[in-house]
Amino acid sequence: MSGPNTDFDPVEVTPLKSEEVEAARDAAVAAIEAATDLEQLKAARLEHAGDRSALALANREIGALPPQARKEAGKRIGQARGAVNQALARRQQVLEAEHEERMLVEETVDVTLPTDRLPVGARHPVTTGSELIADIFVAMGWEIAEGPVLEAEWLNFDALNLGPDHPARTMQDTFWADPADHGVVLRTHTSPVQARSMLTRTPPIYIACPGRVFRTDEYDATHSPVFHQVEGLAIDEGITMAHLKGTLDHLVSSLFGAGISTRFRPSYFPFTEPSAEMDMVCFVCRGTGLATGDDGAADAASCRTCRGEGWIELGGCGVVNPRVLTACGIDAERYTGFAFGFGIDRMLMFRHGIEDLRALFEGDVRFTTAFGSEI
Amino acid sequence: MKAPVSWIRELVDLPADVTTDDLTARLTALGLKLEAVERAGAGITGPLVVGRVLTMEPEPQKNGKTINWCTVDVGDANGTGEPQGIVCGAHNFAPGDLVVTVLPGGVLPGDFRISARKTYGHVSAGMICSSSELGLGEEHDGIIVLPADAGEPGDDVFDLLGLREEVIEFEINPDRAYALSLRGIAREAALAYDLPYVDPAERDVPPADDHGHPVVVDDAAGCPLFVARTVNGFDATAPTPDWMVRRLQQAGMRSISLGVDVTNYVMLELGQPLHAYDGDTLDGAIRVRRAEPGERITTLDDTDRELSPEDLLITDATGPIGIAGVMGGARTEMSASTTHVVVESAHFDATSVFRSGKRHRISSEAGKRNERGVDPRLPEVAADRAVELLTALGGGRADTGVTVVGQAPAPAVVHARADLPARVTGMPISAETTVAHLRAVGCTVEVDGEVLTVTAPTWRPDVTDPFDLVEEVARIVGYDEVPSVLPTEAAGRGLTREQRLRRRVGRVLAGAGCVEAISFPFVGEATFDALGLPAEDPLRRTVRLANPISSEEPAYTTTLLPGLLRAAARNRGRGAAGVALFETGTVAFPVDGGPAPIYGVEQRPSDAELQALLDAIPRQPQHLSVVLAGERERAGWWGEGRDAGWADALAVLRRVATELGIGLEVAAATRMPWHPGRCAEVAVGDGDDRVVVGHAGELHPRVCKAFDLPARSAAVEVDLDALLRHAVDVVPGPVVSGFPLAKEDVALVVAESVTAADVEAALVAGAGELLESIRLFDVYRSEQLGEGRKSLAFALRLRAPDRTLTDDEIVAARQSAVDAAVELTGAVQRV
Ligand SMILES: [Zn+2]
């Protein structure tokens, strides 16, 4: 092995001959081009561009040339090495691209394979439905009030103008905590929450009360002894039935779409006077009562959601009876109020076309997961 | 209340072109809720005509029946004028009778299409109809035989039989008891069309005298007014005329006998319940009084009843002859031989009637009206109307004696400002409109400037308050006129802290693959037994219900687990390999103390009274429960699945705690329904604030079995309220160091009895503030380690907030951590 030529031996060194340099360059480029994978390219790099390659060795000889010859030799070898490096880089890029392409092909998977390794959870539509309603009220500046389900009889009935002889107070309608004369019931509506709010707050009061309620009903496709209700109460100076109508119109259009409004029919509830039943325009047929076919054209059959009525019964409402305000310590001369209530379960049934109420209480995950975690 | 349209039209002169749909729509708008419209002839298409039976030949059949082969003259209705041959199975007629005949091409209810068909060896071209075949009820056996003057053969019978009659059924609200009569409904119809109304109760009645049937009223509060009238020489066997029978039927009542039918008819017409006694069975004066202890009565429904001293009674010298306003007694009932009729027409206290009806579980037409409040002006009028009909239809004559005891209570007088309806409804209702509408509903109104003095009509005992007047005015103006205006003054503070936190908990659990369920919150001893709860377990102290749905589950639950365990089993039973359920809901625990008081409603209870009320109701925290049963991770092309176990229960709970920013303190515990070796007691908070919030882990094998769930099913139950109280409200922003991390693993051999939590706590204490995090990554047991020992391997991550740690610092921290573990847990470092 020869080290660098340091004695300026004037002998012409074979590797520095231009034809030798070109031959080495050509051999290198050929080997590089011939490499079919990155391994072969690595070998070609070692052989033709490594420390022991012909061009590297020739480069070392330059120093031994007479000064006047160095420049030319340096240029010649530099060009050759540059060509080899370029060829290497070019080939490297090509082979890497080929390699990547092959790897990507080899790594191909069947993307239609199932991915359901982890279980899917969901929240109950009664929960998310209650939240949806609550959010509409919160957006109007109302608050959401809550109370216990085992409730004082006085709050569930008397304070709401349901006197001792009101038919709802019988054992046929109400679950009583034992003993029945101890004044505790399973609340039959969420109205005692309204009573609690009136008893403990000063107007203005704007509250909605969603919650679980109990009545001694049969358990069938449309009735349940355990169900859910939302009630609303507004007490302020100058509150009128018009505010009740405005609030309910806003609620149903938020829940069922723009243009859906309510209508009132005179009715009777002890805690409101005047009282009304509220209906909403059917959100499916939009009040026509006609079934709509797939093409959107009305056909002769009746709308299934409203049974051809064009209206859906929603619940009860009215102006808070001043007797209720008085019992709850609110100045009935100064303040007026309105109240309303409707069933959440029933609302979900017609909003989602649920045929059997009992589906809400069975805990079947196939039913509940369909609703996800918002409704 | 069912009201035939023809009867309404008899009382109010509705324009002929008013349809029933329009009428019901307008009455609904006034507050008479439509229940249904019955159309008697629904489903019938003609030809349905009068036929005269010309011949009938009985023909016995092999099946034992005898049919009649008839020829029937149907005039020109069959197009030929020839007699029609018809086979008829009934026998209650004879040649010459007029019958109802449906001809081929006609349709009867139930889509029964009539055609000429071969039967019993004849071609029967039509049918002779019975009431039931026409949907007119099942009063008689056999076919309808029309009166001889009903019409000519071939005449259409639709009107004759009332087959074009429509009957409107109303749902009458408690405040509109007056509409439990045609008088009241017709009044509303007149109001709906702004027509004049002639009140059928406007009637001259004979003055009271002292020679009617003697009546003594001991309890004037219970019976302010009692009227008795007498008819002598009455023929109780006289038939009730068809028109009356039909109207009773249309109103949903059965025809019984002329005497009873007349009292019912007058009740339907005017709204006043009446009672007719066989006067010969009355022993002495009628006396109205409360029952004496031990008294009994057999009522008209043949039920023997023990009376309460609170029951108001109608009595004679022999004892009770009726429960006032509710139901009469059997002994003095009218019979076919009755000739001497005493008519009772009285006004009773509504509450007394309601309580007696409730006490004896009697729901009668009379009671229904009396307990809601009848017009106190009616007794004399109704008695006179009944006497008129009894004498007109059953012969006999009215006795001149007229007994009237007591007087009608005066209607309420209400003072209200004239602008109240406008102020309450938001509709622009003028004072003039208010006065006009109040007068239209029957009020007497005196105007004194802005203040109205309003006397309610006698038939409106419900009108007592100014706001009652508002409703009367508003319903006439029309609820559709109420404008839609959003209140603008609400200024709420959004959801409460707890409401927001509960939503977060729900979302985290759903994200953890759990599905929310809602269960009925009722339990019984058997449920607690299935949970394996010991006899003295506090969960067995429940709030019991006096009238539960099921005597098996008579209490409000103290744990959410039973409902979830059943739902999990239901899912498994329906084919789910794995199920993860959660529920948040109320549980209840009894409180010691007396009954919850019942206060008056004339004023707000005092704060102390209110507190006493709140203190008397059960304690009702919100709980959170989770049940994990069977497959937790599914098997698939990726490999094996994994069933849920104790650790999944804790993992779910920890996710909730992490979301809330709460550190959980976990310790082994023994508590049913959990596996004694695989149950964690979970606590939160420090010092005085520390509280055990619940348990998590694997269920006891016996519990899994009892609820039909796979072994190793796991569950969580925590007091959600307690958990939420510890949630971090404002998260302090963490300082995140960008300096290099030093990872140090240590393996420590400890006795089996030493918990991972103990060792970790020691390492944390020893490592000091350079410790960023610590995580146990391996548990190892071997023979080499020896029986009863285990190796716990922890990864320590050390980092300083302000510098790169030096090797010396790292070594020192690690050593300090290990030293602490050695000292506190007896650990030996494994090298
Ligand atoms: Zn519809």
Q: Give the residue extent of every domain in chain A.
A: 14-106, 125-369
- For chains A and B, CB pairs below 8 A equal 307
From the list B482, B517, B599, the residue facing A154 with the nearest CB is B599
Q: What is the mean pLDDT of chain B?
A: 94
pLDDT of residue A294: 52
Q: What φ, ψ does residue B525 adopt, rounded to 5°? A: -55, -35
The answer to whether the Cβ–Cβ distance between A274 and B467 falls below 8 Å is yes
pLDDT of residue B140: 61
Between CA B703 and CA B564 the distance in angstroms is 13
Q: Which helix (H) or strand (E) holds B660?
A: helix B646-660
Model pLDDT for residues B337-376, shown as the tens digit of each residue: 999 999 999 999 999 999 999 999 999 999 999 999 999 9
pLDDT of residue A1: 44
- Check pLDDT > 80 for residue A300: no
Tokens 């002779």 -> residue = B128
Between CA A306 and CA A118 the distance in angstroms is 40
Between CA B297 and CA B319 the distance in angstroms is 8
Residues 783-822 of B with CB under 8 A from A: none
Tell me the shortest Cα–Cα distance from B351 to chain A, in angstroms: 7
User: Within an 8 Å CB–CB cutoff, is residue B573 touching chain A?
Assistant: no
User: Within an 8 Å CB–CB cutoff, is residue B467 touching chain A?
Assistant: yes
Residues 306-325 of A with CB under 8 A from B: 319, 321-323
A84 by Cβ neighbours in 10 Å (0-12 / 13-18 / 19+) ranks as buried
B143 beta partners: B130
Tell me the shortest Cα–Cα distance from B483 to chain A, in angstroms: 5
pLDDT of residue B135: 78
**Shortest CA distance from B175: residue in chain A:** A268
Between CA A352 and CA A356 the distance in angstroms is 11
**Shortest CA distance from B497: residue in chain A:** A144
Tokens 């209400």 -> residue = B414
The answer to whether the Cβ–Cβ distance between A245 and B601 falls below 8 Å is no
The answer to whether the Cβ–Cβ distance between B598 and A153 falls below 8 Å is yes
From the list A165, A179, A321, the residue facing B351 with the nearest CB is A165
The answer to whether the Cβ–Cβ distance between B489 and A236 falls below 8 Å is yes
- Check pLDDT > 70 for residue A14: no
| Two tokens, residue B674 | 């959990």
The answer to whether the Cβ–Cβ distance between B510 and A148 falls below 8 Å is no
Pairing of strands B341-347, B225-232: antiparallel
The answer to whether the Cβ–Cβ distance between A226 and B556 falls below 8 Å is no
Instruction: Characterize B720-741 residue by residue with b for buried, 16 or more Cβ atoms within 10 angstroms of its Cβ, and e for exposed.
Output: bebbbbbbeeeeeeeeeeeeee
**Shortest CA distance from B571: residue in chain A:** A364
pLDDT of residue B139: 59
| Two tokens, residue A164 | 């001792």
User: ipTM value of the model?
Assistant: 0.88
CB B38 within 8 A of CB B20: no
In chain B the domains, ranked by start, together with CATH numbers, are 2-40+165-192 (3.30.56.10), 48-146 (2.40.50.140), 215-406 (3.50.40.10), 413-481 (3.30.56.10), 497-597+605-725 (3.30.930.10), 742-829 (3.30.70.380)
From the list B484, B517, B521, the residue facing A249 with the nearest CB is B484
Q: Which residues of chain B carry a pLDDT beneath 70? A: 137-140
- Check pLDDT > 60 for residue A332: yes
B552 beta partners: none
Between CA A240 and CA A204 the distance in angstroms is 14
User: Within an 8 Å CB–CB cutoff, is residue B492 touching chain A?
Assistant: yes
From the list A175, A219, A234, the residue facing B547 with the nearest CB is A175
Q: Report the amino acid identity of residue B688.
A: D
From the list B487, B512, B574, the residue facing A247 with the nearest CB is B487
B444 beta partners: B455
A346 CB-side CA count, 13 A: 16
**Shortest CA distance from B483: residue in chain A:** A242
CB B749 within 8 A of CB B786: no
DSSP states along B613-651: HHHHSPB--EEEEEEEEEEEE--BTTB--EE--HHHHHH
A274-302 average pLDDT score: 80
Question: In 3-state terms, what secondary structure has residue A300?
Answer: strand
User: Within an 8 Å CB–CB cutoff, is residue A360 touching chain B?
Assistant: yes
The answer to whether the Cβ–Cβ distance between B31 and A277 falls below 8 Å is no
Count of Cβ atoms closer than 10 Å to residue B1 Cβ: 24
**Shortest CA distance from B477: residue in chain A:** A266
Question: Ligand 1 centroid vs A366 CA: distance in angstroms?
Answer: 28
CATH 3.30.930.10 fits A125-369, yes or no: yes
**Shortest CA distance from B357: residue in chain A:** A167
From the list A123, A183, A263, the residue facing B510 with the nearest CB is A123
pLDDT band of A2, cuts 50, 70, 90: very low
The answer to whether the Cβ–Cβ distance between A361 and B479 falls below 8 Å is no
| Two tokens, residue A360 | 């809400």
Question: Who's near B796: CB < 8 A, 6+ residues apart?
Answer: B743, B744, B745, B746, B763, B767, B771, B773, B774, B813, B814, B817
Degrees, nearest 5: CA angle B421-B424-B430: 30
Residues 276-305 of A with CB under 8 A from B: 276-277
pLDDT band of A297, cuts 50, 70, 90: low
Contacts of A183 in chain B (CB under 8 A): 595-598, 616
The answer to whether the Cβ–Cβ distance between B479 and A264 falls below 8 Å is yes
Would you give the end-to-end CA distance of chain A in angstroms? 83
Q: Which helix (H) or strand (E) holds B561?
A: helix B561-573
The answer to whether the Cβ–Cβ distance between A273 and B465 falls below 8 Å is yes
- Check pLDDT > 80 for residue A8: no
Most B-contacting residue of A260, A267, A275, A361 (CB-CB within 10 A), to test interface: A267
Question: Who's near B473: CB < 8 A, 6+ residues apart?
Answer: B421, B429, B433, B434, B437, B438
pLDDT band of A13, cuts 50, 70, 90: low
Q: What is the dihedral of CA B292, B297, B299, B301, to 10 degrees?
A: 130
A180-193 average pLDDT score: 95
Question: Ligand 1 centroid vs A253 CA: distance in angstroms?
Answer: 15
Tell me the shortest Cα–Cα distance from A48 to chain B, in angstroms: 43
The answer to whether the Cβ–Cβ distance between B33 and A265 falls below 8 Å is yes
From the list A124, A216, A336, the residue facing B516 with the nearest CB is A124
Residues 326-355 of B with CB under 8 A from A: 351, 354-355
Query: What letter would DSSP give residue B705?
Result: H
User: Within an 8 Å CB–CB cutoff, is residue A77 touching chain B?
Assistant: no
